[in-house]
Structure 1
Amino acid sequence: MNLYIGLLTVFGAIILLTAWLPMALREAPLSLPIISVGLGGLLFYHPALWELTPHPVQYPIATERLSELIVIISLMGAGLKLDRILSFRAWMPTWRLIGVAMPLTIAAVAFTAWGILGVSVAAALLLGAALAPTDPVLASDVQVGPPRAGEEDEARFTLTSEAGLNDGFAFPFVNLAIALALAGGHLTAEGWRDWFLVEVLWEILGGVAVGWAIGWGLGYITFRMPNRTKLAKTGDGFIALGATFLAYGLSEALNIYGFLAVFVAALAIRAAERNHDFHDKLHDFAEQTERMLMMVLLVLFGAMVVHGGLLAPINLPIVVFALVTIFLIRPGIGMLSLVGVRMPTDEKLTISFFGIRGMGSIYYLAYGLNHAEFDQTFQLWAALSLVVLISILLHGTTVTPAMGHLDRRRSRNQRRQEVPAPAE
């Protein structure tokens, strides 16, 4: 069997496993990402594939573009499946995680990287910004169900909406790290002013505005045009991909945050007609595409971990950094940000603990390294990859019992409320 035929065979097996494994693992303390990483480590043991084992440093543009592609598709799927109407009060836990937890997490991870790993301030900030967002791709097991499925409890909703928004809100800090690296570690007052006006205000507000305008326009065409021209009548779920690429492409052409625009566009499409069956087809197509890409990329990630030297620079400081990031920084700051929010403690713990790191983190690090020179590149990749690997293993094995606990408690509370009061 030649290499081409072998790769086709492997790719076919991956597609089948992508379809079947989620059903088989539904009640098991395992996840599709864990299986994918393990498959990558096993498949690339074949001598014919050793030379193909990639490393992000060897393929920086491909790493950035592939991770970018899966993130934007995931953001569209996340926005489409949210049933809750956007409002300040209903989304309060999400605003807390975005406005409080994210900047504090970036600062804490950056300070830890600077102190423990000994990297520059710019590199530490880049690592902090890359590892702060909850990943929209690998966090699917803790997200809400499909549109109108009723699986939108507080924990699942908060993790889904946070994962949808925080990729866009992390970008100003990635760009700040790039600016610091280009300026030799020190920004002038004018540089700080430009960063705030352009990277924070213009690109965030522009991303929201453009995303909403595109989503509203597509929603109108899809659901509210005269019957003969309603796109919803086509029944084609791949319209979700068209909406994703249109929103992302236009926003990036305008130099505003495409991640934010895609998620907001999905919210606007959903708001145009909340209960239409076509949302199920849009979401399902986006989810299936995302899942297939995720499995392929995680198989490559597993190969890089086992055979590609991705973790070769690991030493005790990197291990300590990864453990502190996973077990202390996100859970602690997550709980702190939710103080005062009326929510059961176990739901707060779940939200704080399941800050899953994955493809979004890989994208941000690749993007930063492609736009400026940073010190200790291999060390940065090793530190980030170890955090992602621990997150995949830890969160993948604990998500089923954790979410099962919340579901059982919620069912008990509902049964108590349904018990009729004794007659007087």
Structure 2
Amino acid sequence: MLTRGLSKTSLQKLPFTPAIVYLAIGFLLGPSVLHLFYFDPIEQSALLESLTEIAILISLFSAGVKMPVPFRLKKWRLPLKLASLSMMITIGLIAAFSYFVLNLHIGAGVLLGAILAPTDPVLATDAQSRYPGDRDQLRFTLTCEAGINDGSAFPFVMLGLGLLGLHDLGGWGWQWLLKDVVWATSAATLIGIAGGIMAGRIVWKLRGRQYKHDVLDDLVGLGLIAIVYGMSLLLNAWGFLAVFFAAVALRHTELKLAQTIGVTAEQLGGGVEERQNTQETNIEADDETLPTIVSAEALVFKEHLERLSELMLVLLVGGMLMLDFWNWRTISLALFVFLIARPLSVWIGWLHTQTSWRFQGTVAWFGVRGIGSLYYLMYAIQHGIPQTMARDLTQLTLIVIALSILVHGISVKPVINSLEDKTR
């Protein structure tokens, strides 16, 4: 951690993402090379589930507060299609590949598809929105997709577990459809939106225009995450969705209230960007200090936690890799996911959307798999999948994650920089 903190500038100058460095260090220290440590994902699945869960929650909140305001269905249509239709197509394609090529049980195939289908909000930050209100359509699409599909994949994880006899689907799947799809998804969305609106209004009322009452923005953000996630667990809703939409609603509410005193979303978004780049805090608008908002002020702290969790978890991924994990089954699955399942699902999901081939191709390529997939794998192990199947799914998932870190980490900076240069 000390080395990471001291080497921030050096890592930013690298032509690839820092996650590649973490993965390489973990691999060198792990059982494949120096054998200084080995983290067994099966034996430590409970711990790893908790660690990945925390990392995802923080990342989802960070992604949510970067969403542009106000909400417009036309702008959100593309990522919503990716997080729903395209994700279901990806799950189906991976399940078919697992069944016909890898000889997995159909339930294990569906489970593996649900594990690998969601794109990752933790490892894909270089291709995602850089600051609140970032108007870049490509970055918004990738950020919004990752924010939503880490929750929308949950019903299909439960479907896979149900097909393995580890979850009650009900007759003809009606219980799964009503409880795990309709209820859990809609309830999570409502819990998140209500929580974000309430938090935004309470803080605005306490703080006031003259800042008579100080508020610890970082703790408010963490508290909001805890409340909406805990409420979702109590009501059997998908907490990941609730946290993302709570962050979106919090930012929307705060900016709507700020506009009542003549401050625009662009002013607040620009102020946050400048504070993040220069660490200046005396940004002014209309000769008055811009109002402090939780969704912006807590973001820097959340991003620091996000970077810390990325460092720790990717090191562990490297330390979990064994040489015999690299075989035709794992590598062929990774190639299928990156080169067939993801591009095909994006193309089908975006039929008749009039998006350019360049835009579709870039989005199709940056379907980064990472910490979210690791969480779902640990969740499935904790829910009792047989140990032999757990070992097999672990090998397949870890190699897909490792190769995603490598191929996407190498390509993200040159591709994104090239696209941004052409739009200037």
Secondary structure at the counterpart of residue 356 of structure 1: coil
1:335 aligns with 2:347: yes
1:71 aligns with 2:83: no
Greater shift, 272-281 or 216-225, is seen at 272-281
Q: Which runs of 4+ in 1 moved over 6 A?
A: 45-49, 228-232
**1:33 maps to what in 2?**
19
**2:197 maps to what in 1?**
216
**1:167 maps to what in 2?**
150
**Aligned mates of 1:337, 1:226 — CA distance in 2:** 44
1:156 aligns with 2:139: yes
**1:204 maps to what in 2?**
185
Deviation at 1:235, TM superposition (A): 4.8
* Aligned ranges 1:122-133 → 2 under 5 Å: 122-133=107-118
Which one of the candidate residues 286, 290, 297 is aligned to 2:313?
297
Letter matched to residue 195 of structure 2:
I
* Aligned ranges 1:171-320 → 2 under 5 Å: 171-182=154-165, 190=171, 192-225=173-206, 227=208, 233-274=214-255, 275=268, 276-278=291-293, 279-305=295-321, 309=322, 312-320=324-332
- 5+ unaligned residues in a row in structure 2: which ranges? 256-267, 269-290
Deviation at 1:12, TM superposition (A): 3.1
TM-score, L = length of structure 2: 0.85
- 5+ unaligned residues in a row in structure 1: which ranges? 1-10, 412-424
Q: Structure 1 residues 345, 24: closer, same or farther in 2, change over 3 A?
A: farther
Q: Structure 1 residues 47, 94: closer, same or farther in 2, change over 3 A?
A: closer
Q: Structure 1 residues 361, 402: closer, same or farther in 2, change over 3 A?
A: same
Note if contact 2:166-2:383 (Cα within 8 Å) is conserved in structure 1.
Answer: no
Note if contact 2:330-2:400 (Cα within 8 Å) is conserved in structure 1.
Answer: no
Aligned pairs, how many? 388
Deviation at 1:321, TM superposition (A): 1.5
Deviation at 1:84, TM superposition (A): 3.8
Which one of the candidate residues 2, 12, 15 is aligned to 1:12?
2
Q: Structure 1 residues 84, 158: closer, same or farther in 2, change over 3 A?
A: farther
Could you list the per-position Cα deviations for residues 23-79 of structure 1 after superposition, in whole angstroms to 9, with x for gaps in the alignment? 3344532101111111222344799973x4111111110111111110011000000
Q: Structure 1 residues 342, 35: closer, same or farther in 2, change over 3 A?
A: same
Secondary structure at the counterpart of residue 124 of structure 2: helix
Between the aligned residues of both structures, percent identity stands at 32
TM-score, L = length of structure 1: 0.85
Could you list the per-position Cα deviations for residues 249-278 of structure 1 after superposition, in whole angstroms to 9, with x for gaps in the alignment? 121122110000000100010011223543
Task: Supply the RMSD in Å over aligned alpha carbons.
Answer: 2.4
Secondary structure at the counterpart of residue 104 of structure 2: coil
Q: Structure 1 residues 255, 284: closer, same or farther in 2, change over 3 A?
A: same
**Aligned mates of 1:176, 1:92 — CA distance in 2:** 26
**1:380 maps to what in 2?**
393
**Aligned mates of 1:230, 1:114 — CA distance in 2:** 60
**Aligned mates of 2:292, 2:20 — CA distance in 1:** 33
Could you list the per-position Cα deviations for residues 368-417 of structure 1 after superposition, in whole angstroms to 9, with x for gaps in the alignment? 12113245221111111111111100010100111111111110xxxxxx
Q: Structure 1 residues 28, 339: closer, same or farther in 2, change over 3 A?
A: farther
